[in-house]
């Protein structure tokens, strides 16, 4: 979505909101990949997660 706002303040707010959302998504993706890497590296930890998943 593209927001066109004549007001400079409104445009700045829109920019920061889009920037913040994008940054949050990037952090989530990095965290997800890091978590998968952690599970693959530490099999014992992976087993613990699997047991927790079965219990829940």
Q: Decide if 3 is inside a domain.
A: no
What per-residue confidence (pLDDT) applies to 49?
Answer: 65
Q: Decide if 51 is inside a domain.
A: yes
Q: 39 burial class (0-12, 13-18, 19+ CB within 10 angstroms)?
A: middle
Q: Decide if 19 is inside a domain.
A: yes
Residue 18 sits in which domain range?
Answer: 8-55
Tokens of 40: 């693959």
pTM: 0.44
Q: Decide if 1 is inside a domain.
A: no
What per-residue confidence (pLDDT) applies to 26?
Answer: 87
Q: Decide if 49 is inside a domain.
A: yes
Residue pLDDT tens, the chain, 56 long: 555 555 666 777 788 888 988 988 888 788 878 777 776 766 666 676 677 677 66
Domain count, the chain: 1
What per-residue confidence (pLDDT) applies to 41?
Answer: 67
């Amino acid at each position: 979505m593209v927001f066109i706002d004549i007001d400079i303040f409104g445009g700045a707010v829109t920019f920061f909101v889009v920037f913040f959302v994008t940054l949050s998504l990037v952090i989530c993706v990095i965290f997800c990949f890091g978590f998968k890497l952690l599970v693959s590296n530490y099999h014992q930890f992976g087993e613990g997660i699997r047991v927790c998943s079965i219990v829940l």
